[in-house]
Structure 1
Amino acid sequence: MLRIIDDRIAVAPQITPQDLPAIKAAGYVAIVNNRPDGEEPGQPTGEAIRAAAEAAGLGYTAIPITHAGFSRPQVDAMAATLAAADGPVLAYCRSGTRSCNLWALAGAAGGDAPEELTAKAARAGYDLTALRPLMDAVRAN
């Protein structure tokens, strides 16, 4: 189930290679994989998603987020991926939450107002309240 955050990004729980043609048909131009391989038994590998994305004509970037949390290089990689995309991006992880959080951190790092990011996320069903201190910190640096 895609959760549209704004006209530039949506997030989703785990996708499969079979989902990629429909994602392309929906107008997305790139996929961001925020899930590490082997996180859960039976999940498709990043390589399988990459191959299917490329076969469907979609860009693919892997920025895995583990239980260790977010790092500045991950935030910067997400910001760069979103800036380089010439259309809407779909980011996914196990539930969509890490993808939403990384999008918000990338936006804050780029100068977007945390209040606006929080409001967009809330409309998509995500509560960024606990992430606010980190958004403020990356925005300040």
Structure 2
Amino acid sequence: MNIRNLSTTIGVCGQPTLADVAQLVRDGVTVLVSHRPDDEEPGQPDHAELASVAEAGGARFIAIPVSGLPSTEAVRETAAVITSLGPDDRAVFFCRSGMRSAATWAMAERLKGADADALRDQALAAGYDLSRLPL
């Protein structure tokens, strides 16, 4: 599992398997956010399965499905998750490749007042080019 850190508390990755989710929780992840809709691709674990594994290990699981450019609602929900993180929390956001999660994270941070260029730089350092994203 390739977790790319966007900040000290938030990492992004592509679709995890159920075994990956269990390992992430064992490794200290306390919050998992899926930006991927159920049934986007045949064979992907659905939100109920992912939530069951995450919650069995003591982590929160939150589904905020995004198709294409993140909606205002998805950005607000993601901002609320970010705001809810405590100093000991470690979150992983995911979608198919991590790009939608990185974009949603950047838009949520921008909503909270973060500098657009700094967000693009942080995302680029993690391997996500958000230069075309309207921040």
Q: TM-score range by the shorter chain?
A: over 0.9
Q: Which residue of 2 aligns with 1:139?
A: none
For residues 27 and 122 of structure 2, the distance between their equivalents in structure 1, rounded to whole angstroms, comes to: 20
Partner letter of residue 61 of structure 2?
Y
For residues 83 and 95 of structure 2, the distance between their equivalents in structure 1, rounded to whole angstroms, comes to: 20
- 1:80 aligns to 2:80 (yes or no): yes
Secondary structure at the counterpart of residue 32 of structure 1: strand
For residues 42 and 17 of structure 1, the distance between their equivalents in structure 2, rounded to whole angstroms, comes to: 12
Deviation at 1:4, TM superposition (A): 1.1
Partner letter of residue 28 of structure 1?
V
Q: Which residue of 1 aligns with 2:32?
A: 31
Q: Which residue of 2 aligns with 1:102?
A: 104
* Structure 1 ranges of 4+ moved more than 6 A: none
Which sections of structure 2, spanning at least 5 residues, go unmatched?
A: none
Identity over aligned pairs, percent: 35
For residues 100 and 33 of structure 1, the distance between their equivalents in structure 2, rounded to whole angstroms, comes to: 12
For residues 8 and 64 of structure 1, the distance between their equivalents in structure 2, rounded to whole angstroms, comes to: 21
For residues 82 and 29 of structure 1, the distance between their equivalents in structure 2, rounded to whole angstroms, comes to: 12
Partner letter of residue 7 of structure 1?
T
- 1:60 aligns to 2:61 (yes or no): yes
Structure whose residues are more often helix by fraction: 1
For residues 41 and 48 of structure 1, the distance between their equivalents in structure 2, rounded to whole angstroms, comes to: 15
**Cα contact 2:29–2:91 (8 A) shared by 1:** yes
Secondary structure at the counterpart of residue 132 of structure 2: helix
User: What number of residue pairs does the alignment pair up?
Assistant: 132
* RMSD, matched Cα: 1.0
Deviation at 1:128, TM superposition (A): 0.7
For residues 115 and 23 of structure 2, the distance between their equivalents in structure 1, rounded to whole angstroms, comes to: 32
